[in-house]
Amino acid sequence: MDMETEPARMTAAEASALIQSRKMSCEELVRSCLRRIASRDAVVKAWLRLDPDYVIRRARELDKLPSKGPLHGLPWGVKDVIDTADYPTTQNSPIYDEFRVGRDAAPVAVVRGSGSLILGKTDTVEFASMGRKALTRNPYNLAHTPGGSSSGSGAAVGDFQVPLGFGTQTGGSHIRPASFNGIYGLKPSWNRVSREGLRMSSITLDTIGWYGRGVEDLILVAEAFRIPRDPIPVSVKGLRVGLCRSPVWREIEPAGELALSTAAKRLTAAGAIVEELELPEPFSRLHAAHTAIAESEGAAAFLPEYVNANALLAATLRERVENVLQITAKQLLEAYALADFCRPVLDGMFGPKLDVILTPSAKGEAPEGLHTTGDAVFNRMWTLMHGPNVGIPVCFGPAGLPVGVTLVGPQMADSRLLAIAQACAPLIDTEPEERKRRLWPD
79 is catalytic: yes
**Whether the Cβ atoms of residue 68 and residue 115 lie closer than 8 Å to each other:** yes
Q: Which of 114, 116, 149, 246 is catalytic?
A: 149
Burial (CB count within 10 angstroms: exposed 0-12, middle 13-18, buried 19+), residue 369: exposed
Which residues, at least 6 apart from 57, have a Cβ–Cβ distance to it below 8 Å?
none
133 is catalytic: no
Q: Which of 32, 173, 179, 201 is catalytic?
A: 173
Q: How far is CA 113 from the centre of its chain?
A: 22
173 is catalytic: yes
- Three-state DSSP class for residue 145: coil
Q: Which of 32, 45, 79, 201 is catalytic?
A: 79
Which residues, at least 6 apart from 343, have a Cβ–Cβ distance to it below 8 Å?
385, 386, 387, 411
Question: What whole-number distance in Å separates Cα of residue 391 and Cα of residue 167?
Answer: 13
Residues designated as active site: 79, 149, 173
